[in-house]
Amino acid sequence: MESNPVLLPGVPQSLSAKFEGSFAYLTIRDRLPTILTKVIDTIHRNKNKFFEEYGEEGVEAEKRAISFLSKLRNELQTDKPVLVLEDAQEDTEAWNRYLQYQRGLQGEHCPVSWFKSPWLYVECYMYRRIQEALCLNPPMSEFDVFCEGKTQSFLESTAAITALCTHLQQIRPTLTHTPESTLMDHLLTLLQVSLWGNKCDLSISAGRDNSQRVSPLDSLSALRAFVLLDDSRQVWAALRSGRDRGQRSRVQVDVVLDNAGFELLTDLVLADFLLASGLANQVRFHGKRFPWFVSDVTGRDFLWTVAQAASSNHTHLSACGGQWRRYLEEGAWSYHDHAFWTLPHEYCDMEWAAPDLYASLSSAHLLLFKGDLNYRKLVGDRDWPHHTPFSVALRGFSPASLCALRTLKANVQVGLAVGQGEGLSKDTPTWMTSGDYAVMQFHSPQQ
């Protein structure tokens, strides 16, 4: 990290728990302590496993990790100052520099603390401190405290997953000779499925079951009225233009993932369709290096999901899984992680904070950003007026054409018509936080 972000004049303040009664306040007060309690319980329930694998060393590590996390929970609930990280991970120095930056912003008379600092920062910080608890207590360093919930989300969504894979297998043979209008309809349908797959977010439910139990295809018509912005035809146009020049260059789509479980399956099916239809010939997936925001995809989750699909007894699901394995073996699909995805930065900082990642994303023909956290980082998790143009809120982040697919679970949303947000607030006060509304929001560097 070479420098610190600069806050431009006219940029709204960050959402924060210092505004009592706000969604950020309720998240810090209620949801985050609940998540920490579940993490502590998960580690304790696996005490015998640690003993079987590592003996007394494992038991002692379990005790130290629980003590660390219990102290962290107390720090959060009593609004203690944010502390520097003390492990020796690749990103430790970047995190500690960002803390110094926050201290400079808030001044010496206002400590950087859980209820007084930007919500985006302290929420990310909590998950990084969970990772610190494990890193400082080997041999637990590789233990995924959220694995059980992610696995359950996948298994309890089996009916919906198989319905979606059946749909893909049924249309696959027609894709190379289908009319343009039909191909567009298929794309728009699978974009909608991927969009609504984002409802299955275990961080917003504090780890409670949030699986998909019915076919998502059956509910798309009823959900259409809840999509506040639908730029899916611009996604089609971007992909169509890429296919027109596809003989001269590769059409690459990058998907910045959100949740494991059912949502990941919707993303894999969409990516499969892009290759099978010829709309793209390479898809790169971006996920997290370590467990993050309860249900975010890690490399282990990604490969486990493909393996689960391939080993299924269901004909269409196993066929999809087998195809996904071949894509990975052939290099048409690839999974990538980067330390930047688990830093607290807004994405407008990426070009200087992670220039290698920004350059990599710039090589894509289209970027798909999934989910609420990605949206919050795209627009800075700030108190923007709802009619603020998406391009303005991105604050210069424009490596390639991009589309954010998000169900609303945090009180930030831009790009709406004048008065639209205010009308929603009057009729449905929880429209920004319930997950019942969604957007597919497109931006091109030419805009």
Over pLDDT 70: what percentage of the chain? 93
What digits encode the pLDDT tens for the residues 346-370? Answer: 999 999 999 999 999 999 999 999 9
Q: Which residues of 160-177 are buried (b: 16+ CB within 10 A; e: fewer)?
A: bbbbbbbbbbebbeebee
pLDDT at residue number 201: 62
pLDDT at residue number 336: 98
pLDDT at residue number 443: 98
d(CA 218, CA 7): 45
pLDDT at residue number 109: 86
In this prediction, residues 256-268 reach a mean pLDDT of 96
pLDDT at residue number 235: 98
- pLDDT band at 219, cuts 50/70/90? confident
- pLDDT band at 8, cuts 50/70/90? low
What digits encode the pLDDT tens for the residues 36-76? Answer: 999 999 999 999 999 999 999 999 999 999 999 999 999 99
Please check the confidence at residue 245 and state whether its pLDDT lies above 80.
no
- pLDDT band at 207, cuts 50/70/90? very low
pLDDT at residue number 206: 43
| Structure-token pair, residue 366 | 């289209």
What digits encode the pLDDT tens for the residues 145-170? Answer: 999 999 998 999 999 999 999 999 99
Region at 230 (left for phi over 0; alpha for psi -120 to 50; beta for the rest): beta
In this prediction, residues 178-185 reach a mean pLDDT of 96
Angle at the Cα of 348 from the Cα atoms of 342 and 352, rounded to 5 degrees? 80
What pTM value is reported for the model? 0.95
In this prediction, residues 131-153 reach a mean pLDDT of 95
Are residues 420 and 252 in contact, defined by beta-carbon separation less than 8 angstroms? no
- Paired residues of 255 in beta bridges: 285, 368
What the chain holds in terms of domains, given with CATH numbers, is 23-135 (1.20.930.60), 148-443 (3.40.50.10880)
3-state secondary structure 378-389: HHCCECCCCCCC
- pLDDT band at 7, cuts 50/70/90? low
pLDDT at residue number 199: 85
- Burial of residue 31 (CB within 10 Å: 0-12, 13-18, 19+) is middle
